[in-house]
Structure 1
């Protein structure tokens, strides 16, 4: 089996689709107002369409036409029409494309349809109609933007047209020739300030080649700022000279200040970096997510030095208003105030802000739980209990489960109830055109195809209720697409729904005896979404994302109780790598291939490695899960740096939140959530989250 990345699928032959669709256009199939009432995709029809695709692929158009006439399936003809209308350079007309969009507004790839429609818009279409179209469908192409701008000018909205042209220039992406043509076309409308703004945006986006095309169009001072920023971003020699060439009037340019901060931090000149941040750079809010990364890294470094007051000052000065950065900043500020500075009243403000300012169950449960902890520290047990109770409403989360434990509720009682569609809802779902097309596609070209994937993802994207999410997840599971069932459940979770069955699929094999099945499944769900031939950018492979070198080490001999494992600081690869004796490349390659071709081998190998980690860290799930992600060497280092949470004096929850790598902090919590939901899925007894956190006796891990 050919290996693929986590997000890719093997493409089908697009030429065949184009050829057959073009033939159908000639026949007039799918262009009229025909209904889709016929049941689509009988066994004989599917066989005929498979033959038609093969015939078109081989250039046998007469045979393809004959086959289509034998099985004029309305749904299949619409599907094939969609295939050609979404291809670049389609021969279809404006009326054909826009007519399809009106009939099928929920089909995927609407952006491709709009791009093709813009290219086929009639040249003599009245300006009022052009304007009406683009006000409902904002232009995606430069051709479309030009038509819209012309229509605005001709219908009395010149200012709006000019703003549109300038905004696209500042924020748009162009090829070199496209950019030259655009500037030439609108030379009288683009100002020096627009060139400067475009240059600034391109450097922020790290599009240096494009930025250099704009540099000759700005004044020498702005050129000097750009050169200094580029030099610092690339950590090139001569940075000091580049900075000296920046005029005094531009030394406080926000972009320059940001790159100066990042350059100093990368050079371990932390005090210099914090000096810039202390000045509250102008317009920090414009790129708050980038600025937050610098604040966060520097704050974590201060925490390692136990300079908690300075860390709090740095974190609490963030400018983020939403998103991941906001959630991280408000939590860390509150945690520092509560756990390191003994300021529970100040901490409460941050935790309440976290709860109010976020929407995801993970962030809201974290905010609610820690608000309860802050109120406990203030002696307000009644209000604390209210916040803990609020956290339990997000019962599938790490902190929701901890809150239930704090309130001494029975194990498993906080796990959310799964949405239950009615028979009527299921019948309506089965009748939906998108669902019927998805099933037909799976029969024609397989559930694993790009197009089937696209339709399932669109169904998930359009789901509004828990019942809809569940039915989409069950559809994916019925088509043996466990990965799409999991991704659908993740989307449902963001909307507050838990798909306890479809969202937590089971292996097709009996898992190894160790470690527990719920932990094995929880790791697989987090690592690969159950994609058996997944390959990460670091080279980790298969269901449990095992590195070939790790597999070679695990399988060269019976696994020892405490394998000596070391890792470096190079990221994901080290998270799955031990250092076995040197192996022949052919052996490693053979192992790599088997990790994706043989799911049983992958699970047995990954489970053995995971069991070794549990043993190495004295039975601790937290440390073993962290080591599976970040590497056992790193975890051993953190035990030295931050203390051993398996013994007295170090709180395990604090230890998890102290780990310096966000990916690992998140990974540990998400896997533990998976473990609790999988215990219920497998029919195993529910346990308290606090019990899982407390596993393990202190050893020399």
Structure 2
């Protein structure tokens, strides 16, 4: 499948604490730079004869042990090759710190055997479920070493079904966990290997698949390897298997890679009766998207629309696409937008366009995308003569009055655009407040600012923004933003509040700067 780099940002906002609750900065010197106390020679001070006095001891500079924890975090972020125990012990002691997902992957990659310190390995994976086949294999080994045979067999089975494994691991789920792997698991592994493009492993796996699926997998492997006799393998596929998403995707890519892009597009544009859902939804969507975009670029608008509109059969009925992983959502909304735009602008089918714009909105978690989709669904419904549907879509877009398309929707309904202002946050329970400010991530954020490590602090600021879910989370993050003088955190909080449905806190995401003197007449430009 095509690789995808995703940058995901989030945000938080805040209000300053009162002077009585402001935390005073710690000394700015690094521990390594501090001199011992008392300074050399201070203990030799002699009182004058005219004014006898006692020298008071100078208070020793306070060292916060959190500095060492932050330095350990920094060290672990800088390499994927530290021992597993370094990653595991830190993550277990400090869950939720920035970069956690990457350190989990690193921990799984460097662990050679789960049978080494199995108690720690099991505890790590119980807290942080494996994200790779190698991780599941190590978890299985740890569980087996602890005598938890049934759980070990289940993890070995899941590792096998996931697809690619290290060459040294490939035989272990079968030989090391007798009875764990069945025929359905062999088929699932073959499917996963083909979606991953792991053709060498798939060649070895082909002999293990069930007889009823062997022709399907042999054809897919031939497509993937561009075998000269791929057509012969294709002819042997049973009709029931021709609705398999993996078969359709691999055959389309084989046609496209062989210089038959028009044939690949026409093939994908055909109406599908029932689809065997893809094991890798993101990879499936990327095949559709590449061919739909190619068709649109060549002005094959009907073909582009017919490819892009067939997006919902990748999931079981009733699936909320907005809860799916980002890569899937991103491709889903790209296909829905392409279909909507093509139907409205090139095919003069506004009713179909409205449906696809609504799918675009429903496949996203972000208010920016949702408001855009609902607004254009309203415009398309208007063009189709369905005023009631248009008003309904506009109303859904207008629930975000701070966003461009929310404001356009309000105008289409004849409503005044409401003013977005930062209201007073609701009172927060003292126990909730105390727990928030005691969190390691929050304490580290404050300390990094006092140490002048702004770049590292920014990572923690974003983490706090990403973690905010409840109204109190957002209100307290807003307070923190004021305390540490990070107005960007307030912007993030405002966006996060909008994302999580806390409309009353959205206004905190629009901090204002002092505009005295000459700047007073340029408020708009200062805040642009």
TM-score norm. by structure 1 comes to 0.50
CA distance in 2, matches of 1:378, 1:393: 23
Structure 1 residues 320, 417: closer, same or farther in 2, change over 3 A? farther
Contact residue 465 and residue 493 of structure 2 kept, 8 A: yes
Residue 682 (structure 1) aligns with = 526
Alignment pair present for 1:271 and 2:259: no
The structure, 1 or 2, with the larger RCO (C-alpha pairs under 8 Å, 6+ apart) is: 2
Contact residue 134 and residue 148 of structure 1 kept, 8 A: no
Matched residue count: 440
Q: CA deviation at 1:291?
A: 3.3
Three-state SS of the structure 1 residue aligned to 2:455 is coil
Determine which of 323, 333, 336 is the counterpart of 1:327. Answer: 333
Three-state SS of the structure 2 residue aligned to 1:177 is coil
CA distance in 1, matches of 2:349, 2:118: 70
Q: How does 1:306-345 map to 2 (within 5 A)?
A: 308-318=301-311, 319-321=313-315, 322=321, 323-345=329-351
Residue 45 (structure 2) aligns with = none
C-alpha root-mean-square deviation of aligned residues, in Å?
A: 5.2
Contact residue 225 and residue 246 of structure 1 kept, 8 A: yes
Residue 224 (structure 2) aligns with = 230
Contact residue 469 and residue 488 of structure 1 kept, 8 A: yes
Residue 169 (structure 1) aligns with = 160
CA distance in 2, matches of 1:285, 1:135: 28
CA distance in 2, matches of 1:229, 1:400: 47
Determine which of 214, 219, 232 is the counterpart of 1:244. Answer: 232
Q: How does 1:593-608 map to 2 (within 5 A)?
A: none
CA distance in 1, matches of 2:203, 2:512: 50
TM-score norm. by structure 2 comes to 0.63
Residue 447 (structure 1) aligns with = 454
Alignment pair present for 1:387 and 2:393: yes
Q: How does 1:296-445 map to 2 (within 5 A)?
A: 296-303=289-296, 308-318=301-311, 319-321=313-315, 322=321, 323-356=329-362, 358-381=364-387, 383-409=389-415, 413=417, 416-418=420-422, 421=425, 432-444=439-451
Contact residue 421 and residue 508 of structure 2 kept, 8 A: no
Q: Residues 212-268 of structure 1, C-alpha deviation per residue, up to 9 Å, x if partnerless?
A: 665676698677446423324xxxxxx443443567136846434312212333535
Structure 1 residues 425, 146: closer, same or farther in 2, change over 3 A? same
Q: How does 1:107-122 map to 2 (within 5 A)?
A: 107-108=97-98
Alignment pair present for 1:464 and 2:455: no
Structure 1 residues 41, 221: closer, same or farther in 2, change over 3 A? farther
Alignment pair present for 1:89 and 2:83: yes
CA distance in 1, matches of 2:387, 2:275: 42
Determine which of 48, 55, 66 is the counterpart of 2:31. Answer: 48
Q: Residues 409-447 of structure 1, C-alpha deviation per residue, up to 9 Å, x if partnerless?
A: 56xx35744565468699756565432222223444712
Q: CA deviation at 1:463?
A: 1.0
Q: CA deviation at 1:274?
A: 1.9
Contact residue 261 and residue 277 of structure 1 kept, 8 A: no
Q: Residues 34-63 of structure 1, C-alpha deviation per residue, up to 9 Å, x if partnerless?
A: xxxxx897317x4325569xxxxxxxxxxx
Structure 1 residues 408, 174: closer, same or farther in 2, change over 3 A? same
Q: Residues 383-426 of structure 1, C-alpha deviation per residue, up to 9 Å, x if partnerless?
A: 5334323312223444323323434556xx35744565468699
